[in-house]
Structure 1
Amino acid sequence: MSDWNPSLYLHFSAERSRPAVELLARVPLENVEYVADLGCGPGNSTALLQQRWPAARITGIDSSPAMIAEARSALPDCQFVEADIRNWQPVQALDLIFANASLQWLPDHYELFPHLVSLLNPQGVLAVQMPDNWLEPTHVLMREVAWEQNYPDRGREPLAGVHAYYDILSEAGCEVDIWRTTYYHQMPSHQAI
């Protein structure tokens, strides 16, 4: 896939936004000035951030030109940057870095997470949600089919695990609030997926 399709992505916007809503509810900040939404996609999570902190300066970052175009159209009061999350640098320290379903696509979390923490102000919050569906039957089957079709490099690596992320963030000086949740989606048939 060369780029994401915003229309297809937003077809399941309620399902895609639910983890972001629940993650945002756990962010203990009241006064927020600078926010980055990493992997902002078409802006659905950015809109949630803007609703909670309407006066904040919110920057959405995504590597997909189509997603950035959709986000800019939907949220003209926010700034959007087409960039690789790993290379993007904010102009000032951030109060909040929010990443809903984006960091699982990037490698080297042992380096990435401490780097992200270094972009925060001293009271800043790194709020991350990553789907951990590596062992789910659908994803096992996708990898098997990709392998059989000679696409062995398609997909992503498994996440490091809850204990590893606790260690990574603790060693970076964070107070860690970590949990694991399973979301189920009822579909009328396999064609609806």
Structure 2
Amino acid sequence: MATQRGAYRKSAKRREEILDAAFDVFSRQGYTAASVNEIARTVGMTQPGLLHHFGSKLALLEAVMERRDQLALDILSGRHDVEFLRGLLEIARRNKAVPGLLRLYSILAAESSAPDHPAHEYIARRFGFVVEGTTRAFEEIRDRGLLREGVDPRTAAIETTSMAEGLQLLWLQGVEVDMETVIRGNFDNYLTVPLAEAAATSVAGA
């Protein structure tokens, strides 16, 4: 049994090393140009040895992206109305600490616009999750009477998502921009009171 546990820990450690290498290669080359053989060489393995752990190049990409998205899912889980918006701000703040992840995601988002790209459905689902979740948050804010008159929740969600995506690209290109501050100001334009005040009201009424 001890030998089995040791083998499992070794295998799990190897998988993490492979994911780190795949992230690095995908970030520099994109999914299409990257090769499984190069990723395998980075961790001192053969291509068959790497595929023993992940099965295919697509499975490897999905594992890398799932690891990237887990933090965001953890932050947004269970949040509603203004707290969901605050969660988006927290993600924007944390993203500045992981430029490599942002670069990988931006490359994949562009590459996967082609319907036959292996990551097309994954990226489409991700955008759908963000837009739907943000739409629901704005609807809940509207139901609390905190959304400005004339603001459509879905339109606000699409504008918010578009702004966040654009800000990430600007920042990656070296433009000095505080993504969290800009997005917060955009939220305030939709609300009848500043987000900080709306959040304080929510906590007080909990």
TM normalised by structure 2 equals 0.28
**Between structures 1 and 2, the one with greater strand share:** 1
Instruction: Name which one, 1 or 2, has greater alpha-carbon Rg.
Output: 2
